[in-house]
Amino acid sequence: MTNDTQAPILSVRNLRIEFPTRRGVLVAIDDVSFDIAKGEVLGVVGESGAGKSLTGAAIIGLLEPPGHVAGGEVLLHGEPIHNLPPAQMRKIRGRKIAMIFQDPLTSLNPLFTVGQQIIETILTHKDISEKEARQRAIDLLTEVGIPGPEQRVDHYPHQFSGGMRQRVVIALALCADPELIIADEPTTALDVSVQAQIIALLKNLCKEHQTAVMLVTHDMGVIAEVADRVAVMYAGRLAEIGPVKELVQNPQHPYTKGLMGSIPVLGAEIERLVQIDGSMPRLTAIPKGCAFNPRCTQVFDRCREERPNLIPTGKTHAACWLYDNQNKNQDNQDNNQGNDQDSQDKREQTA
């Protein structure tokens, strides 16, 4: 499920994340698998609580206890990193995998200048002098579009606007030239015009540095603009994954169709947007079979009993029994039986 021409930088295989509680074990992420190749942007979308940010946190080793990886594996260039000791994971975090958080204020220390924070990060991961690190910090601020970087490098976070702080965080993420960046809702807290600038910046950085990006968001507009492929999550599981153009224009899973149908289209005369009735289930009440079945308009008996895995649906893969050959064959048999019965009834009437 990656680009055919490149081996993946990141491979997530059958990831399972659990939270033990007094009432039992809650499964927050259940059997999630995907790859991200060099220079590729994988958009991860879904409703709040679908497990998008939790998946990103597991990859970079920042799961909050008592949450833990209970199954599956996270591979970086084929090497498992999900079970590394904290000291080894710290060496990978920042150097090989970096993270951009939703709120830049939580990523920046208000007591230090942005230059001090960037320089410290550079010196942690690169064997260069402090003078060279300062110049590298200025170059990074220039690259992410901070005006007057020679002066701004000595300013504190509160002296920057929200959009500029997010640019500083992106510069911080690029300090050690990571191979993978996990961007967790990087534009949510920003004005629309600033969002567009940050999106353009991410696209440009991905293109120039050939950095792989996992872009976590609930904004399909951002996904359509930036991503190469999209993974749609629902209740801790993958509902559909595939190329962004195909998934936006021709979604296969009923949940993905609902998401796409709820987006207004400029120039289209539609009286009412598509609405997905109900809400996503709590972790304590995920239904049997397909987790989406209580809200699905195309649900049938098998959906309520068996959980579907990802099934090829042309250019995408969807976790939906509608695309299973067994169901299609059964439907054809039912149709043939129905036609045979109709023919027999007509013959009896004629006789």
CA atoms within 13 A on the CB side of 35: 12
Are residues 92 and 117 part of one domain? no
pLDDT tens digit sequence for 1-57:
554 456 899 999 999 999 999 988 999 999 999 999 999 999 999 988 899 999 999
Last residue of a domain, one of 223, 257, 282: 282
How many domains would you assign to the chain? 3
pLDDT tens digit sequence for 187-219:
877 788 788 888 888 888 788 888 999 999 888
Are residues 278 and 232 part of one domain? yes
Cα separation, 230 vs 18, in Å, equals 24
Instruction: Answer for the pair 182, 98: CB distance below 8 angstroms, yes or no.
Output: yes
Distances (CA, A) of 163 to 104, 143, 168, 288: 9, 15, 9, 43
pLDDT score for 187: 81
Are residues 73 and 114 part of one domain? no
Are residues 92 and 196 part of one domain? yes
Instruction: Answer for the pair 83, 37: CB distance below 8 angstroms, yes or no.
Output: no
Q: In what order do the strands lie in the sheet with 229-234?
A: 97-100, 180-184, 212-216, 41-45, 229-234, 237-243, 317-318, 311-312
**Pair of tokens at residue 262:** 């709820």
Are residues 62 and 117 part of one domain? no
Could you please report the per-residue DSSP string of 201-219? HHHHHHHHH--EEEEE-S-
> pLDDT tens, position by position, for the chain (351 residues)?
554 456 899 999 999 999 999 988 999 999 999 999 999 999 999 988 899 999 999 999 999 999 999 999 999 999 999 989 989 998 899 889 999 988 888 889 999 999 999 999 999 988 999 999 999 999 999 989 899 999 999 999 999 998 899 999 999 998 888 999 999 988 877 788 788 888 888 888 788 888 999 999 888 888 888 899 999 999 999 999 999 999 999 999 999 999 888 777 766 677 777 788 899 999 889 999 999 999 999 999 999 999 999 999 989 999 999 998 756 545 444 444 444 555 455 445 544
Q: What CATH code is carried by the domain that includes residue 22?
A: 3.40.50.300
Are residues 116 and 87 part of one domain? no
**Pair of tokens at residue 177:** 């030239």
Is 297 part of any domain?
no
Q: Which residues have a Cβ under 8 Å from the Cβ of 288 and sit 6 or more positions away?
A: 304, 305, 307
**Pair of tokens at residue 85:** 């000791």
pLDDT score for 247: 93
Is 45 part of any domain?
yes
Are residues 347 and 219 part of one domain? no
Last residue of a domain, one of 254, 282, 310: 282
Distances (CA, A) of 69 to 29, 79, 100, 163, 291: 9, 16, 22, 34, 21
Domain of 265, in residue numbers: 1-96+178-282
Q: Is residue 320 classed as helix, strand or coil in its secondary structure? A: coil
Are residues 183 and 57 part of one domain? yes
pLDDT score for 328: 53
Are residues 246 and 211 part of one domain? yes
Is 298 part of any domain?
no
Q: Is residue 180 classed as helix, strand or coil in its secondary structure? A: strand
- Extended beta strands in the chain, E state: 8-21, 24-37, 41-45, 68-76, 79-80, 97-100, 180-184, 212-216, 229-234, 237-243, 311-312, 317-318
Are residues 190 and 72 part of one domain? yes
Are residues 256 and 113 part of one domain? no
